[in-house]
Structure 1
Amino acid sequence: MSIVRSQVVGVGSYLPERVLTNDDLAKTVDTSDAWIVKRTGIKQRHIAADGELTSDLGREAALRAMSAAQVKPQDVDLIVLATTTPDNTFPATAARIQSQLGVTKGPAFDVQAVCSGFVFGLAMADNMLRLGQATTALVIGAEIYSRILDWNDRGTCVLFGDGAGAAVLRAVDGAGSNADRGILSTHIYTDGTRYDQLYVDGGPATNASSGHVRMQGQEVFRFAVNSMASSVRTGLEANGLTLKDINWLIPHQANSRIIAKVGETLDVPDEKVIVTVQNHANTSAATIPLALTHGFERQLFKPGDLLALTAMGGGFSWGSAILRW
């Protein structure tokens, strides 16, 4: 039976020019390069310039994805932006990006699922393309976490950075089998009982401030490994696939130890796991499209390869997307 699939036809990413190394951080907070690398695998992060906005990062990533896909603004009829750090409380930052790109058709809206945002955004766009509500979608993850960090808290400030990544999805006809190219399925979840284990202590309704990231690190670590691995298994089972069918595992780039543990839990060899966290730290909703772009630019993905994307973030939110390149 023929069905509509959402095929990834282009990806792109953008990192701000300024690089903040572990040694740079050690000058202002009680930490060291060795301490950070041992516990997180992170070597550096990028920091947005003064006056540089989330929309600026997202726009640049989108332009690069559109160039890779050979898509023009008039072709795009849906923009989904995953972000925790919007330019303004409202309107949606996606609306600003839509205007800057010269896109004039369809909706543009933000999705707030923290580090799982890009997977949630893929789910939203995929469903809309399947239903015929759009034909070509931009899914963007863009964050400026440097502005919601407590730079005196070494438990969080060493972990995050700024960046953006994007993917262009196009509706194509598929045969309805797991051999189809494109997104085979998405699976997204939330457990609000864990709201206070990873959150920002501010907001318009709370104290009229942007606040700072607060995290119970051990709880997040344990939940991240289990939830990410479980959601990948669910996605594979839904499509009649097994762990051995995975060509590339692309997990949320939060911490090298979490990434390694997820790969180990799923029995995916290290050489099939995309790891980029060392270069940009945790960029929340941007990490998966950054990793996708890393693999694409290095021609790691071959047509027909099976990619398993998975993420976990505040909320707690988590999920997976199973797609064939």
Structure 2
Amino acid sequence: MDAPEIHILSVGTALPGPPVDNATLARQLGTHQQFEQWVDTFIGTRTRHLSVDLETGEVNHSLADLGTTAGGRALAAAGLEASDIDVIVMGTATPDALMPATVNLIADRLGIDGIPTYQLQSGCAGAVQALDVGREMLLTGRHTTALVIGGDVCAKHLDIDMDVSSMAPAQLVNVVLFGDGAGAAVLSTRPTPGSVTIKAVLNRLTGLGRAPGQVIEWFGLADRASDRPAGMEDYKAIEESVPVMAGEILKELLDTLGWQQADLDFLLPPQLSGRMTKRIVERLAVADAQEVSCVQDTGNNGNALVFFQLERALERMGPGDRAIAVAVESSKWIKAGFALEKV
């Protein structure tokens, strides 16, 4: 018996609060105009959404809050109820707590119970890993419908009273690069009008013997006394490696499916920052495919990004259209991606 095809029925997303532009962030951090220009030029991100009130420092959205909103929107868009979900898988680098798992808080709020739930600890590849696990669970034939969630809330790593004037670029980039958000998708063995088929998923660790490109500690800048940074970004290593890895991911997915670059209608490239995404797209050189990006406006909200891209892609894809998404995790160099075809 042939394995069933797995389809994405719908996507839902959630962002906390209004967009925060570079000028607002610069004013709040007490920096000069050159800082705003540096962000515009070096990072290329215009706005981000934060789960912390920049005036008071109060965290006003948890990952469970955003994941519940995104999951509820995905269910509503698919025309499904909580009781229709057979399994939930979540990918995140920033759970609200070590325990209980954030995925279970979201399930509780959505009214879901009595099913398997999984939470994967991962950076930007976590959303694809969650998609992969959800897909594999459905391929067993024991389940028909899965809710896949991805998101991150980095508010604990943003101290609004920090002194950024003496920060090295490796630390400063973490202040401006990231935002918060969550996304969710409903996967099913049963296609519906407008759904897309997952044709292939790539998920592979490639970091043997390589130093991490990113380290995020369990603590945040705002909740401990040590001056050890809560986050470290080797941006030069990321700039050198990610475009190369993105090309390798694209080629492997195309080769796996026997597709040519000319067969692609949409490209969902890695969303590190506006500037990095532009470099990657130029290197991939898939001239005939429409780029689907969002990071310039959402900020790098980690495991939510793929869902924001998917949401935009599903709105544009027509019958027979093909798309490939590429994601790279620099924490320990993970290649990830997937290919879609409109039913």
Same fold flag (TM > 0.5): yes
Instruction: Report the Cα offset of residue 146 of structure 1.
Output: 2.7
Tell me what 2:236 maps to. 218
Q: Report what 1:70 is aligned to.
A: 79
Give CA deviations for 1:83-111 in whole Å, capped at 9, x if unaligned.
Answer: 11111102221111111111124211211
Q: Which moved more, 1:27-36 or 1:123-132?
A: 27-36
Deviations 1:170-196 (A, max 9, x none): 0148xxxxxx95111111122153353
Alignment partner of 1:157 out of 175, 178, 185: 175
- Counterpart position of 2:36: 33
2:61 corresponds to 1:45: no
Percentage of identical aligned residues = 28
Query: What is the aligned counterpart of 1:249 among 234, 256, 267?
Result: 267
Query: Paired residue for 2:297?
Result: 279
Aligned equivalent of 1:319: 336
Q: How far apart are the structure 2 equivalents of 1:271 and 1:237?
A: 17
Instruction: Please report the TM-score for the alignment, with normalisation by the length of structure 1.
Output: 0.89
What displacement does 1:264 show? 2.4
191, 197, 202: which is aligned to 1:182? Answer: 197
User: Which amino acid is 1:317 matched to?
Assistant: I
Question: Which residue is equivalent to 2:92?
Answer: 83
What is the one-letter code of the residue matched to 1:24?
Answer: T
Q: 8 Å contact 2:262–2:288 — kept in the other structure?
A: no
* 1:228-307 matches, cutoff 5 A: 228-269=246-287, 272-296=290-314, 299-307=315-323
SS for the counterpart of 2:209 is: helix
Residue 91 to residue 17, structure 1, CA distance change in 2 (3 Å): same
Higher strand share: 1
Q: Deviations over 1:53-78 (max 9, x none)?
A: 10110110111111111111111011
Q: CA deviation at 1:230?
A: 0.8
Which of 1 and 2 has greater Rg?
2
Q: Secondary structure at the match of 1:158?
A: helix
**TM-score, with structure 2 as normaliser:** 0.85
Supply the distance in 1 between the matched residues of 2:218 and 2:210 (Cα, whole angstroms).
17
The runs of 5 or more residues in structure 1 that have no matched partner are 174-179
User: 2:253 aligns to what SS in structure 1?
Assistant: helix
Moved over 4 A (4+): none
Structure 2 unaligned spans of 5+: 53-58, 165-170
Q: Which one is further off, 254-263 or 40-49? A: 254-263
What root-mean-square deviation, in Å, do the aligned CA atoms of Structure 1 and Structure 2 show?
2.5
Task: Compute the displacement of 1:212 (Å).
Answer: 1.7
Separation in structure 2 between the aligned mates of residue 226 and residue 126 of structure 1, nearest angstrom: 27
Q: Secondary structure at the match of 2:336?
A: strand
